[in-house]
Amino acid sequence: MPITSLEEVVRYQTQINKFLASNGIRDLVGDYGEFIVHSAIGGEKQSAVNPGFDIKNDKYGRVEVKTRKYELKQDGSVKKENRAVGFKGKENNFDWLAHVILDTDFKVVSACLAKYDEVWPEVQRTKDKVGFATSSKLPSSIDITETLKGAQIEFNKSI
Q: How far apart are CA 134 and CA 114, in angstroms?
A: 10
pTM of the complete model = 0.91
pLDDT tens-digit readout, 44-90? 999 877 778 999 999 999 999 999 999 999 999 999 999 999 998 89
Cα 24 to Cα 21, 31, 44, 93, 128: the distances in Å are 5, 9, 16, 23, 27
Domain ranges (residues) in the chain: 27-158
Q: What is the pLDDT of residue 159?
A: 64
What's the start-to-end Cα distance of the chain, in Å?
21
For the segment 10-21, the average pLDDT, to the nearest whole number, is 91
Q: Return the CATH fold of 27-158.
A: PvuII Endonuclease; Chain A (3.40.210)
